[in-house]
Structures are given as C-alpha cells and as structure tokens.
C-alpha cells in the first residue's frame, strides 16, 4: 500500500515543476520552444495522471493480510486394545445360616417333639359345673328353635341371637320355684361326684415333672399379685405329713361320737375344738407322742422320695 502523505508530496513537486517550466518557456522569444514546452507539459500531465491512477489501482488491489494458519492436531483414532485377562470362575461361598436366638424357657415351659410349647397340666384339668351352668347347657339348645330369638342377616340367613337367649335364661333361673331348685340341686350333686372322680383321675395321671411345672407357674402368678390363683399341686407319690396332735384327737373324737358322724366337717371341727381346750396336759400327751413318732418316720420317707424324684 502507497503512503498517502508521500503521494501528496510527489504531486506538489511535479506541479511546481510544471508551472516553472511554463514561465521560463514563455519569456523565451521562440514559439517553437514554447510549443515544445507545452507538449512536454501535456506529456508530463498525462504521465502524472497515469502515475496517480496506477497508485490508486495498487492501493485497491493490495491483498488483505494473510491470517495465521492455525494448525489443529488431529486426534489419533487409534486406541490401544487391552488384553483381557481370563477371569477365574468365582467360587460360591456357602450362605451363612442365621442363628435364631434361643429363647430361654421359663421354669414352667417345655418344648414338645413338634417344637411347640407343651400346655400346662391345668389346661386338661376337669371343671366343676355350677347349677346355673347346668341349666344353661340344658336350656340353650331348646331356645335355638325359638323364632323370636333369630334375626335375618344381610345374606338372608337366620342368625341366632345368643345374647338375648342368655338374658332370658338368667331371668328364668332367677324365677325358679322350690321344686325346680330341688331338681337342679340334685343335678349339681351328681355333677359334683362326677367332678371328684375326674379330678382324682387327673391328679393320679400327673407326673412329677407336670406338678413341678404347674407349681412353678402358680408361684409366678402369686408373685405378680394375681387374684384367684389356685393352691399348689401335691404330688400323689409324695409322703403325706403326719397329722398335728389336734387332728389326731379330732379323728379319734369323731369316730367315737355318733352325733358327729352326720355333721359337716366344719361343724364337727368346731365341737372337737371346744373339747380339745377342756383336755388337760396329761390327756393331750398321747396325741403329741403319736405325732412325734409319725413325724420321724415321715422325715426319713421324705428324704428317700426326694432322692428318687430329684424334687425338693
């Protein structure tokens, strides 16, 4: 590219030269020289215009500065192939068996062959039926056919209302006549005899282990302050403790008095107690002697029994 300042300087110099040349030739008397000078001036002017045109063309055609070539390195597409190692077959570890925590059994608990808890012996103990329960067991089946005690359910079936039936049975029981009461009392007495026989069979079937378990449960219930806890069971094979001196006298006194045979035990014991208080020390001495002898035998028999059964 031509510098504009340089171009203007050259133009001024050429212009000044042209004017000076023309004046010098004008003062000359020779027209020929003037004519030649004019021609020269024209040629110079033409040359000047050509020079300026060339300079302009050169300016417009100058190429733009080349941009720096940016070289980008091509990413190598070749990937290294890793040699895969042959994997060894994984050895399966045996699954760990979770240990179930062993529950500590209580003194009265026992596991049966099927892995379940064995019920306490009291679960099979016979139950004594009262007079009211006997009447219910007789009357309830009869009331099931009473349409007034049935309602129709959503499914259209007749349903027996047991609550209403029990209410009616209770009302009938309270309205018993003397004849009805005597009849139900006879049934209750017969039921009592049946209960005593079943209870005796149940007691005789108990093993020392059964009794130990049942008594352990009874003791735990008493410690908790539960009400209605039954008395501890007595092992039928366990030696019986000897009678006290008074009960030795009571057995003797009742067998000798015919009036006391038909009396109830509480009433007979009341009379025997009054007679015992009236005895002197010498009269009571034989009964104390019998008690001491039996007590000694009992202690020896009890130790032998405990060594055999492992009970205490």
Neighbours of 212 (CB within 10 A): 19
**Phi first, then psi: what are they for 150, rounded to 5°?**
-125, 145
Give the residue, 232 or 59, on which the prediction is more confident. Answer: 232
On whether the CB atoms of residues 21 and 37 are closer than 8 A, the answer is yes
Percentage, residues of the chain above pLDDT 90? 37
Q: Of 303, 293, 246, which is closest to residue 274 (Cα–Cα)?
A: 246
What's the distance, CA 83 to chain centroid?
52
Question: Can you give the pTM of this predicted structure?
Answer: 0.49
The pLDDT, as a whole number, for residue 81 is: 56
Q: pLDDT band for 53, please (50, 70, 90 cuts).
A: low
Pick the CATH number of 113-205 from 1.10.30, 1.10.3470, 3.40.50, 2.40.128: 1.10.30
DSSP 261-308: TTS-HHHHHHHHHHHHHTS-HHHHHHHHHHHHHHHHHHHHHHHHHHHH
Query: Could you give the C-alpha distances from 188 to 142, 193, 225, 265, in angstroms and in order?
Result: 20, 9, 32, 20
pLDDT in tens, 123-154: 999 999 999 999 999 999 999 989 888 888 88
Average pLDDT for the chain: 78
Using the predicted structure, report yes or no on whether residue 29 has a pLDDT greater than 80. Answer: no
Question: Phi and psi dihedrals of 151, rounded to 5?
Answer: -130, 155
> Given a cut of 90, is residue 66 above it in pLDDT?
no
| CATH 1.10.30.10 for the 238-312 domain, yes or no | yes
The per-residue pLDDT for range 170-213, each reduced to its tens digit, is 999 999 999 999 999 999 999 999 999 999 999 889 988 899 99
> Which pLDDT score is estimated for 194?
93
Distance, in Å, from the CA atom of 211 to the CA atom of 217, rounded to the nearest integer, reads: 10
- Strand ranges inside 128-184, DSSP E: 150-152, 158-160
Task: Give the span between the Cα atoms of 109 and 119, in whole angstroms.
Answer: 8
Q: Which residue has the tokens 């030795």?
A: 248
pLDDT for position 175 = 94
Of 32-46, 146-160, 288-302, least confident by mean pLDDT is 32-46
For 204-251, the pLDDT digits (tens) are 899 888 999 999 999 999 999 988 888 888 887 888 899 999 998 888
């Amino acid at each position: 590219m031509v510098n504009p300042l340089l171009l203007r300087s050259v133009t001024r110099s050429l212009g000044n030269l042209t004017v000076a040349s023309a004046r010098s030739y004008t003062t000359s008397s020779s027209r020929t020289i003037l004519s030649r000078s004019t021609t020269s001036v024209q040629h110079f002017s033409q040359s000047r215009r050509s020079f300026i045109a060339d300079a302009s063309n050169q300016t417009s055609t100058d190429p733009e500065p080349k941009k720096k070539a940016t070289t980008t390195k091509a990413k190598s597409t070749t990937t290294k192939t890793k040699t895969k190692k042959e994997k060894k077959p994984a050895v399966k570890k045996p699954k760990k068996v979770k240990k179930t925590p062993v529950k500590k059994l209580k003194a009265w608990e026992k596991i049966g062959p099927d892995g379940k808890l064995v019920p306490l012996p009291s679960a099979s103990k016979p139950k004594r039926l009262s007079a009211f329960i006997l009447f219910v067991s007789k009357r309830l089946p009869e009331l099931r056919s009473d349409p007034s005690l049935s309602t129709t359910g959503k499914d259209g079936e007749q349903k027996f209302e047991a609550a209403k039936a029990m209410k009616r049975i209770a009302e009938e029981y309270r309205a018993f006549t003397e004849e009805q009461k005597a009849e139900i009392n006879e049934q209750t007495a017969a039921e009592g005899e049946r209960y005593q026989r079943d209870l005796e069979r149940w007691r005789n079937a108990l093993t020392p282990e059964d009794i130990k378990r049942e008594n352990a449960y009874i003791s735990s219930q008493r410690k908790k302050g539960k009400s209605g806890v039954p008395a501890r069971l007595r092992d039928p094979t366990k030696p019986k403790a000897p009678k006290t001196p008074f009960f030795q006298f009571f057995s003797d006194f009742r067998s000798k008095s015919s009036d006391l045979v038909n009396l109830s035990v509480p009433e007979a014991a009341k009379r025997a107690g009054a007679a015992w208080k009236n005895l002197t020390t010498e009269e009571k001495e034989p009964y104390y002697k019998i008690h001491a002898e039996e007590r000694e035998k009992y202690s020896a028999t009890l130790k032998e029994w405990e060594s055999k059964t492992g009970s205490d």
